[in-house]
Amino acid sequence: MAKTATGLEENVAGLLCYALWWASGIVFLILEPKNKLVRFHAMQSIVTFGILTAVLIALYILGLIPFIGIVFNILSGLVGLLAFILWIVLMVTTVQGKKYKLPWAGDQAEKWAG
C-alpha cells in the first residue's frame, strides 16, 4: 500500500474518510492533495453521507407532523439502518484495499476528486 500525505497507508486513510461520515471526508479531502484513491474515498463519503444526512434530517422534521408523522419515522428508521449497513460495507471494503464505487455517488466522487 502506498503512503499518503498524512503518513498513513492508503487503505487506512480511506477507512478514516468514512469514519465520521461526511465530516471525516471533508478533513481528508483537505489533508490529502495528491493521492487519488484517498481523495475518491473522501469525496464518496461526502456525497453519500451528505445526502443521507439531509434525507434523515428531512424525515425527522416530517416525522414531527401529527398522525402522518409515524410513516416518516418508520422511513427514517429504515434509511438509518440502510446508512449504517452502507457505512460498515464501505469501511470494511476500503480497509481491505478494495475500491468499492457506489452507483451514482462513486461516479460523482471520481469526477470531483480530481
For the segment 37-90, what is each residue's pLDDT rounded down to a tens digit? 999 999 999 999 999 999 999 999 999 999 999 999 999 999 999 999 999 999
The count of other CB atoms within 10 Å of the CB of residue 53 is: 14
Residue type, 19: A
CA distance linking residue 21 with residue 30, whole number of Å: 15
Quick check: 13 and 6 in contact, CB under 8 A?
yes
**pLDDT at site 55:** 98
User: Model's pTM, two decimal places?
Assistant: 0.92
CA distance linking residue 27 with residue 16, whole number of Å: 10
H or E stretch including 29? Answer: helix 22-31
